[in-house]
């Protein structure tokens, strides 16, 4: 597992039969009942953590839960400020952990929580209302922004892998634990294909 670059995102799936715990009105699908899957992946797209929630739940509310519920213990990370001359550059790069998120995760409180956990965040800046493209603020505050391009599309690919399983593309389970079990089982299949077969 490559911990240097991690990606986190969520995807909404239709929940035709409902379900008391996780089915919520999706704001993007004419208020139909839906469920959200929140997924954390490594650099290769291997799923590390999965959390499900109502579709109406904002992504910010569960970002720390998804990170903390990784099934594999995350190695200790060092921040850029803690790196010393004694640590060689190659080793320091292995110890650094980048987390790529989309604009929906832009929140000062959650960013501080993730920084406490040793992450270097890569979140695109939100465009302010009435602001033109040339007037947008340059992302100087984000570490390594100029050196590295964000690798958030990896988690989008993992979401598409999950959607290839018919039982996950549309949720038919009323109990949340049944659907979560199917998602976790599909994660095992994805990990097997990525690690064993490749």
Judge whether 130 lies within some domain: no
Judge whether 25 lies within some domain: yes
Judge whether 166 lies within some domain: yes
Angle (CA) 63 50 11, round 5°: 75
Instruction: Write out the E strands in 26-96.
Output: 33-41, 47-54
Distance from C-alpha of 73 to C-alpha of 162, rounded to nearest angstrom:
23
Q: What is the CATH number of the domain that holds 51?
A: 3.30.420.10
**Predicted local confidence at residue 27, as pLDDT:** 62
Count of the separate structural domains present in the chain: 1
Judge whether 49 lies within some domain: yes
**Predicted local confidence at residue 139, as pLDDT:** 47
pTM of the model: 0.78
Packing angle, helices 153-163 and 176-191, rounded to 10: 110
Judge whether 129 lies within some domain: no
Q: What is the pLDDT of residues 57-104, one digit of tens each?
A: 888 999 999 999 998 888 877 655 454 555 555 556 667 899 999 888
Judge whether 84 lies within some domain: yes
How far out from the chain centre does Cα 83 lie?
26
Q: Structural domain of residue 186, as residue ranges?
A: 5-124+138-196
Judge whether 131 lies within some domain: no
Q: What is the pLDDT of residues 120-140, one digit of tens each?
A: 998 887 666 666 655 545 544
Query: Over pLDDT 90: what percentage of the chain?
Result: 36
Does the pLDDT value for residue 49 go beyond 90? yes
Distance from C-alpha of 172 to C-alpha of 28, rounded to nearest angstrom:
20
């Amino acid at each position: 597992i490559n911990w240097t670059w991690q990606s986190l995102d969520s995807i909404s799936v239709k929940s035709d039969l409902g379900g008391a715990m996780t089915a919520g009105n999706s704001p993007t699908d004419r208020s139909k009942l839906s469920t959200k899957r929140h997924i954390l992946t490594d650099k290769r797209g291997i799923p590390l953590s999965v959390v499900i929630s109502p579709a109406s739940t904002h992504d910010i509310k569960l970002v720390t839960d998804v990170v903390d519920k990784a099934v594999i213990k995350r190695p200790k990370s060092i921040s850029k400020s803690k790196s010393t001359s004694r640590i060689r550059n190659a080793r320091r790069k292995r110890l650094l952990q980048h987390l790529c998120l989309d604009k929906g995760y832009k929140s000062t409180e959650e960013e501080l929580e993730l920084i406490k956990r040793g992450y270097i965040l890569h979140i695109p800046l939100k465009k302010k209302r009435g602001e033109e493209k040339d007037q947008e603020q340059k992302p100087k505050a984000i570490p390594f922004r100029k050196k590295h391009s964000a690798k958030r599309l990896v988690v989008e690919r993992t979401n598409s892998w999950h959607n290839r399983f018919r039982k996950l593309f549309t949720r038919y389970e009323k109990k949340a634990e049944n659907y979560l079990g199917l998602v976790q089982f599909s994660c095992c299949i994805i990990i097997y294909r990525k690690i064993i077969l490749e």
